[in-house]
Amino acid sequence: MEVQIAAAKTNKYAVLESGDTLEVVERPNGGLSVVLADGQTSGRGAKAVSMLVVRKVISLLAEGVRDGAAARAASDSLYTDKKGKVISTLNIISVDLETGTVVLTRNNPAPFFIAREERIDCIASASSPLGASRNVRPVISEIPIEAGLTLVVYTDGLVHAGERTGQPMDVEISLKAMLEGQDPAPQEIADALLNEAVHLDDGRPVDDISVVVLRVLKRRGDDVRRMTVRVPISVKG
């Protein structure tokens, strides 16, 4: 099999820096984890918060700490640092080759989607962000790694897209249409959802938006790991 992950990320309109942080890291016992955090508010302050959370999580995962424990630790750390006044959402998607499962750890009111072939489930159980209090617990879903699996995880910019114009986005309908189509690449799915959200916000996103799509597929081609990153930049000074 092979795992393909794609992410697409954009900033709130007229804000230079996204408050979302997304990193992909290798797990010490095999596999990899995608860590996505959305810090409260937007711009530099939110970015500092989401980076703090992501750093904490990836340093714990690197030590072999389990995902749920890493999420709790990041929550306590944020709570201690900001005295409960600043919150952050967190999603961890781990492909754990030791257990043969995908583990989804979620401290985010925004739901996520699991699709197996063309059946789509929306996981929308109540889930609190990190940092609001002591005893914040993540909601954890664990599913076997199998070919045909698609996961879609996002920050609340996607949830709120279109609300201003009275045309809220329906992620499930969009995803269903894509999965019924021509076996889309994860990057096509992520880009299409992001583009739809930006379009519903009239080209001026009301919040930072990040979309992550993970697909498990039958092995196609060689044994080479590949990664590409594309970042628009403006050089200061």
Smaller CB distance to a copy of itself: residue 126 or 229?
229
Instruction: Show the CA angle centred on residue 225, arms to residues 219 and 229, nearest 5°.
Output: 120
Q: What's the DSSP call for residue 41?
A: S
Q: Work out whether the CA dihedral 35, 40, 42, 45 comes out positive or negative.
A: negative
Residues 23 and 202 sit within 8 Å (Cβ to Cβ) = no
| Residue 12 token pair | 């709130």
Residues 70 and 43 sit within 8 Å (Cβ to Cβ) = no
* Shortest distance in whole angstroms from residue 137 CB to a copy of itself: 26
Chosen residue from 43, 45, 59, 148 binding a copy of itself by CB under 8 A: 59
Tell whether residue 218 is a contact of a copy of itself (CB under 8 A).
no
* Shortest distance in whole angstroms from residue 215 CB to a copy of itself: 10
Distance (Å, whole) CA 47 – CA 41: 9
Read off φ and ψ for residue 28, nearest 5 degrees.
-65, -25
- Name residues contacting a copy of itself, limited to 61-90 (CB under 8 A): 62
Read off φ and ψ for residue 165, nearest 5 degrees.
-100, 10
Tell whether residue 237 is a contact of a copy of itself (CB under 8 A).
yes
First to last CA, the chain: 47
Smaller CB distance to a copy of itself: residue 12 or 127?
12
* Shortest distance in whole angstroms from residue 133 CB to a copy of itself: 26
* Shortest distance in whole angstroms from residue 145 CB to a copy of itself: 5
- Name residues contacting a copy of itself, limited to 157-216 (CB under 8 A): 186-187, 190-191, 194
Using CB under 8 A, which of the segments 82-90, 117-125, 135-143, 226-234 binds a copy of itself? 226-234
Let me know if 113 is exposed, middle or buried by CB neighbors in 10 A (0-12, 13-18, 19+).
buried
Tell whether residue 118 is a contact of a copy of itself (CB under 8 A).
no
The footprint of a copy of itself (CB under 8 A) covers 1-11, 17-18, 21-26, 28, 30-32, 48, 51, 55, 58-59, 62, 95, 97-100, 145, 186-187, 190-191, 194, 219, 222-237
